[in-house]
Amino acid sequence: MAIIYHEEKQIFSLHTKHSTYQMKVDQYFYLLHLYYGNRMESCMDYMLPYFDRGFSGNPNDTGNNRSFSLDIMPQEFPVLGTGDYRNTACKIREQNGCYGCDLRYTGHELQKGKYSLPGLPAVYADQAETLAICLRDERIGVGVTLYYGVLEDLDIITRSAKVTNIGQDCFYLEKLSSVCLDFLYGQYDVISFYGRHAMERNMQRTAVSHGRQVYGSSRGTSSHQYNPFVILAQSDATERTGECYGVSLVYSGNFSAEIERDQFDQIRLVMGLSEEQFSYPLKAGEEFYAPEVVLSYSGEGLGLLSDQLHQCIRRHICRGNYRDQIRPVLVNSWEACYFNFDGNDIVNLAKQAAELGVELVVLDDGWFGKRNDDNSSLGDWDFNEEKLGCSLKELSDQVHAQGVQFGLWVEPEMVSEESGLYREHPEWVLQIPGKKPIRGRNQLVLDFANPEVVSYLFTKLSRILEQGQIDYVKWDMNRSLADIYSGCTENQGTVLYDYMLGVYRLLDLLTSIFPDILWEGCSGGGGRFDLGMLYYTPQIWCSDNTDAVDRVRIQYGTSFGYPLSVIGSHISASPNHQTGRETRIDTRGVVAMTGAFGYELNLGKLSEEEKQEVKKQISFYHQTAPLLQNGRYYRLSNPFEEEYGAWMVVDREQRTALLSVVILNMHGNMPVIYIKPDGLNRNLKYRNHETGAVYDGDALMSYGLPLSLELGDYRAYQILFEAVDETEYCGSRKLT
């Protein structure tokens, strides 16, 4: 049993293979948090801090017992109104304006299998167990069910909450977090991932200090600026050592992650929906579900934590026919021709792709309505036969006739003011009455909180996808939300949450009806790179910035919480269109192979030498793709602090490994760089696939491998190691 209830002590223990999560119902029926860490069988209630603290109030039930205060007790689901002055997980406003919720334990249920959440993405698993704990406030009529899912073998615990109005009077839900983790003491850092458009998920490590540290988004999406994933790590934790906790929200809209060190040096981490523009009324009998949080604990450093999350995402978040498949190598038309193309250009791109071994051609923006720039036609999802010179079916057939697959770009959540849809339905956008709209990229946002909008788009997009053999769809979203007002509700505090439910509803319908399509998420690149989108799209375009040097850092930060198989990563032109930087095509290839591999350039402009390199890259990618998709990923350097980026992927049997290195800065008379591989079997010998040189696994991991530095900017190294049984001469040279 992964979930054990000690009836006498009223203690719940959630056991995974290597961790234990423990909580207790106390004598006043409060649900207190006891422990989360290395697996153990002990009851940890002896750790509870009973002290008489000044200015920390005592619940009325405690009588003269001043040693009990929720202001100092570790809790599972703290709410505003109980005398706890720290961050809370829930705020409920009564009709009279009061905040006085007081939730007490009323019962629990153990279930086989993993719970699901209506309308929301969530981890799925047959081999799992669920604990549902019921809390109530009878005075207000609030019922809360806390859900815990345990995936024992993967060291994963999930959390969510359902709030129900069990009374007669309406109340307002004004904050709802999916998780609260309380720590009685310790020196911790919070690792977060900040950024901006075209430079997402920069890793930042900050000591948890007194006060509150808040990371989140109010942009209507999980955002380029802050990712809905944080790590709480012991201050001395490294890639290989120390305790750390990963907390990842399965949601694509506004969120908040708050970390607080209180007056007594206790630490609280709360993550869930953002409070901003959120006020959700619940009438008698109505329910509200919080998005899920995925938790994982590692006592052996950040590398193991990442691997546990990677395996969970690959096997229990991503779904569909492509979940376990090697993705086709694609070329996207965007940087090849932008809006300037016709059908012949796309067919020619397909011919060039087939000659080089590229397997999929994606027709990006500009194929619909009267779309020749980004100022019109969003919402008019009709194929522009006049521009393309053919029907969608004819174009699809011609591309497939070249021996490659065919894909399309769409941006369903947006509408141009210059469009037939907006002229017909101006009430279908998020727009404050009487206020001139805030534009982003000259487009407005459709009101996905309105079921009519979702229904209309399902019909339009379904008809498009039925017109030809469409093998791939890129779902984009290119602005932040503003002017939050929906004409379909009187309660504007519901709009942002209902908007996301509408997006998920449309994605669920389309991916169910078209299961053979490979869906890729995108929001100006990585503006919605989260577990919520990965539930519907098994890969996400990592960043609009395809510069190889920047991508080393972007993909480094992304790797902490997300596996390589979900990271869309392409080779683009040099000089790069975002930075103007020039890099060699082999360097661009080494970086792009650290993800779902493809190209973002005009294949017709490649030199013969570059075309041969592309063929070589695609061949090598096919050779190593199963390793890259399923192996364990190791970070060997921090490219924000070191002169190089180095990483490694090792198969689960430790028989094959791919080492990749990119030199980020070159200096005169530079010292030799020594790379220490990780994840190898110390008792095996490994052969360099290209040179034939053989090394002891123990020697490589203990002392490293010297790189033969060559002059020039941004040189890259890629070495494939394969286990051998015989001893051979040790040596090494750069792979070119």
Tell me the two tokens of residue 314.
Answer: 């690959």
Any residues with CB less than 8 A from the CB of 46 and at least 6 apart, and which?
none
From the list 409, 401, 382, 388, the residue with the least C-alpha distance to 346 is 388
Q: Which residue is listed with tokens 């430079």?
A: 199
Q: Where are the alpha helices (DSSP H) in 327-450?
A: 334-337, 343-356, 385-388, 392-401, 420-424
Asked if 408 contacts 367 with a C-beta cutoff of 8 angstroms, the reply is: yes
Dihedral sign for Cα 660, 661, 662, 664, please.
positive
Any residues with CB less than 8 A from the CB of 366 and at least 6 apart, and which?
338, 339, 341, 372, 387
**Helix H or strand E encompassing 302:** helix 302-316
Helix axes 451-465, 495-513, angle to 10 degrees: 30
Can you tell me whether residue 559 is helix, strand or coil?
helix
| DSSP label at residue 184 | S
Tell me the two tokens of residue 469.
Answer: 């053999």
Torsion of CA 641, 646, 651, 653, to 10 degrees: -80
| DSSP label at residue 194 | E
Tell me the two tokens of residue 316.
Answer: 């229990």
Q: Which residue is listed with tokens 């990119």?
A: 662
Catalytic residue among 152, 411, 530, 547: 530
Q: Which residue is listed with tokens 């990563």?
A: 569
Tell me the two tokens of residue 455.
Answer: 């229904």
Dihedral sign for Cα 295, 299, 300, 302, please.
positive
Asked if 548 contacts 583 with a C-beta cutoff of 8 angstroms, the reply is: yes
From the list 657, 661, 627, 626, the residue with the least C-alpha distance to 643 is 661
For residue 575, whether the previous peptide bond is cis, meaning omega lies within 30 degrees of 0, is yes
Any residues with CB less than 8 A from the CB of 327 and at least 6 apart, and which?
518, 539, 565, 596, 597
DSSP string for 621-632? HHHHHHHHHHSE
Q: Is 25 exposed, middle or buried (0-12, 13-18, 19+ CB in 10 A)?
A: buried
What backbone torsions phi and psi does residue 153 show, to the nearest 5 degrees?
Answer: -70, -25
Q: Which residue is listed with tokens 């006498």?
A: 8
Is 530 one of the catalytic residues?
yes
Asked if 58 contacts 64 with a C-beta cutoff of 8 angstroms, the reply is: no
Amino acid at 495: V
Dist. CA 439–CA 449, nearest whole Å: 19
Asked if 414 contacts 443 with a C-beta cutoff of 8 angstroms, the reply is: yes
Catalytic residue among 102, 547, 610, 613: 610
Dist. CA 11–CA 43, nearest whole Å: 8
Torsion of CA 456, 457, 458, 460, to 10 degrees: 90
Q: Pairing state of beta strands 90-93 and 171-183?
A: antiparallel
Dist. CA 122–CA 131, nearest whole Å: 15
Any residues with CB less than 8 A from the CB of 512 and at least 6 apart, and which?
none
Asked if 362 contacts 333 with a C-beta cutoff of 8 angstroms, the reply is: yes
Asked if 675 contacts 719 with a C-beta cutoff of 8 angstroms, the reply is: no
Is 380 one of the catalytic residues?
no
Active site residues: 530, 610
